[in-house]
Amino acid sequence: MKAFRANLIANLIFFRRNRLAALVALFICFIWATTLIPSLFFVSARDKFQLIKMLIEQSQWFVMFFTASLAVMTLYYNFNQRCFKMVITKPCPSEIWLLAHFAAVLLVAAVLYMFVLAGALILFKVWHIPLQWGVFYVIAEGFLQLVVILSVLSFLVTVMHPFLAIILISIFNEGTFYGLLVLLSAALHQATAPWVKFWYGAANVATYAFYLILPSYSLFEKKVPTLHSTLRMGWGDLKWLGLSFLYTVLAGALFYTLSALALRRRRHT
C-alpha cells in the first residue's frame, strides 16, 4: 500500500508539473464560453437543451482524448527515460507501479468528468430547464468507456511503440469491423458465382470473429438510444449501465493482467 501511494503521488506530481490537466480544464472552459455566446440569442428551451447535450458530448470526447494522451505520454516517458527500470529496482513490483499509473490517470479523468457534470447541472439550473437524470447516466457511461480505452491503450504501449499503438487502436476497433461486416454481407447477398459466395462467406465469418474478440468501447450504447437523444432515464436503463460496469471491470482486469505480464518481460530487456 505504501508503494502504491508513493507511485500514485509521483504520477500526480508529474501531471502537475506538466500542467496539462490545468490546460485542458482551461480549454474546456474556453469551449464552453465560446459555445454559450450564441445562447444569448436563443429563446426556446429546446435550443438550450440541445446546446447542453452538445457541450456534454464535445467535452466527453475531449476528456477521452486528453486522458488517453496523458496515459500514453506518461508510459512512454517512463520507458524512454528508463524511469521504469529505476522504480522496479528499489524494488517496487511492476503490478503496483502499473496500478498506480491507472489510478492516477483515472483520478484526473474523474475530476474532469465531474467538472463537465457540474457545468451541465449549472446550465440546467440557470436556464430553468427540468433536470434529466440521463445526464448522470451519460457521464457514467463515458467514464466506463474511457476505462476500457485506457486499459487497451496502456497494454498496447507496453508491447509496442506508442505511435503504432495509437494507429492500431484507431483502426482495429469494433466500428471498423462492423462496417466491414455490413459491406461483406451486402456483397455476399449480391454475389452469384459459388466460389465468390464462398470467399465472401469466409471473409464474413473471419470478420465477425474479430468483431467479437475485439474489446467494445460502447457495448450497450445502442440499447438506450432514447436516453441519449432525450436524456430521460428510466429505472430499466440502469440495467445496461450495470452490465457496462461489469464488462468494464472484466475488460480492465484482463488488460491490466496482460500489461503486467508484458512489463515483467520488459524489465529484463
pLDDT tens column, 39-83:
656 556 677 888 888 888 888 888 888 888 888 888 887 777 666
**182 assigned to some structural domain:** no
Which of 74-109 are b and which e, b meaning 16 or more Cβ less than 10 Å from the residue's Cβ? bbeebbeeeebeebbeeebbbbbbbbbbbbbbbebb
172 Rama sector, left if φ>0, alpha if ψ -120 to 50, beta otherwise? beta
**65 assigned to some structural domain:** yes
**85 assigned to some structural domain:** yes
In this structure, are residues 141 and 244 in contact, taking their beta carbons and an 8 Å threshold? yes
Q: What is the mean pLDDT of residues 168-179?
A: 79
Interatomic CA distance for residues 51 and 59, integer angstroms: 12
**189 assigned to some structural domain:** no
Count of structural domains, the chain: 1
Cell matching residue 74: 506518461
**209 assigned to some structural domain:** no
Domain that holds residue 74: 2-173+214-266
**Residue 19 DSSP SS3:** coil
Q: What is the pLDDT of residue 148?
A: 92
Interatomic CA distance for residues 143 and 103, integer angstroms: 13
Counted residue by residue, the chain has a size of: 269
**10 assigned to some structural domain:** yes
| Per-residue pLDDT band at 268 (split at 50, 70, 90) | very low
- At 93, give phi and psi (nearest 5°): -55, 140
Query: pLDDT by residue (tens digit) across 202-258?
Result: 888 888 787 778 788 877 877 888 888 888 888 888 999 999 999 999 999 999 999
**193 assigned to some structural domain:** no
Which of 54-71 are b and which e, b meaning 16 or more Cβ less than 10 Å from the residue's Cβ? ebbeebbebbbebbbebb
Q: How far apart are the first and last CA of the chain?
A: 27
Q: Tell me how far the alpha carbon of residue 37 is from its chain's centroid.
A: 29
pLDDT: is 59 or 28 the higher one?
59
Count of helix runs (H) and strand runs (E) in the chain = 11, 0
Q: What is the mean pLDDT of residues 120-131?
A: 87
